Amino acid sequence: MVRAAILPAVGSPLEIAEIDLPEPGPGQARVRLAAAGVCHSDLSLTNGTMRVPVPAVLGHEGAGTVVSVGEGVAHLAPGDGVVLNWAPSCGSCHACSLGEVWLCGNALAGAADVYAKRQDGSDLHPGLNVAAFAEETVVAADCVLPVPDGVPLTDAALLGCAVLTGYGAVHHSARVRAGESVVVFGVGGVGLATLQAARIAGAGQIIAVDVSPAKEQLARSAGATDYVVASETTPREIRKLTGGHGADVAVECVGRAVTIRAAWESTRRGGRTTVVGIGGKDQQVTFNALELFHWGRTLSGCVYGNCDPAVDLPVLAGHIRAGSLDLGALVTDRIGLDGIPAAFENMIAGKGGRALVVF
């Protein structure tokens, strides 16, 4: 029996309870969690913006230590430090055949599996494959990657989503070039990672935008050269800060129609906007045909930072060891399992950066 955070149904509050976790079967590994990040995607699962089978144990950004492995798992051993990969690629679908593993059509197939039992004997599903909001979890062996050398195990949890997403948005999707100006909408965990990634890319001007004035110091510590409190005039303020032209690149980390539109309007003619935030179906963004022609801007979605975790984690580790990427700077709250509901409330209120569940 291990303690876990259970989502009993969409729209219901989380329940912290003991669950019956089986030993790993063939092709599986059991992992004792060291830490798990509280991501906005977890909140999106609770309110139905994203759908997975329920009841489920949430949490998809985590790292820990292998406790045991099932039959046929040769690349892992008890004692190995690992990062959880919530979206493993199958290697055989159309997207994978194109090398776009972040769009794998089978990546979330495991979320429909039954992986554990509640105390009353009812079935539990593993959220986004890995069920990281628990003291221990059982996952498919392809859902774990080795923790890179020189990265503390607790901090490594952040590599599983926030850092890969922010880094990939800058380096793979927007492809920021040295000297370009970048504006980042939303200074949460992913936004802070995006600001650091823009700094690593050599961006000349890095503008952070958030509804909260209290986040300015967080943003500047992550690399922002300018800070704008979000309002109806935000695009105009961005253009003023960039010589009247607009930013070369905008990265939207909120997932709301108004911020997506503001991000697009904040870029120059020919500018590039990458949308990282996950919005609901009710968030409709509109453009007229003439402005699309006139501005010549590019608007693109970004899934998991357009990353291949197996390739990108070692690259990120190099930046960590060099001191250019500070994982600890993303964390504003270290909590236990019982603190997850309050962390959700803080996200809704736009407070803080990443909350990290430490076991």
Name every residue whose Cβ is closer than 8 Å to that of residue 312 and which is 6 or more positions away in sequence: 164, 167, 168, 305
Rounded to 5 degrees, φ, ψ at 69 are -130, 155
- Quick check: 6 pLDDT over 90? yes
Q: What is the reported pLDDT for 321?
A: 95
Condensed to tens digits (0 to 9), the pLDDT of residues 90-134 reads 999 999 999 999 999 999 999 999 999 999 999 999 999 999 999
Contact in structure between 340 and 14 (CB atoms under 8 Å): yes
Q: Which two tokens stand for residue 244?
A: 């009247």
Contact 27, 72 (CB under 8 A): yes
The torsion angles phi and psi of 149, rounded to 5 degrees, stand at -60, 140
Predicted pLDDT at 218: 96
What are 57-97's pLDDT values in tens digits? 999 999 999 999 999 999 999 999 999 999 999 999 999 99
Mean pLDDT along residues 15-29: 97
Condensed to tens digits (0 to 9), the pLDDT of residues 239-250 reads: 999 999 999 999
pLDDT at 212: 96
With H, G, I as helix, E, B as strand and everything else as coil, classify residue 4.
strand
pLDDT at position 317 is 96
- Structure confidence at residue 52 (pLDDT): 87
List, in sequence order, every residue forming a beta bridge with 28; answer none if it has no partner: 140
- Buried (b) or exposed (e) across 204-217, using 16+ Cβ within 10 A? ebbbbbbbeeebbe
**What pLDDT is attached to residue 216?**
98
The answer on pLDDT for 51 being more than 90 is no
pTM for the model stands at 0.96
Reply yes or no on whether the pLDDT at 208 is more than 90.
yes
Checking if the pLDDT of 354 tops 90, the result is yes
Name 295's Cβ contacts closer than 8 Å, sequence gap at least 6. 269, 270, 271
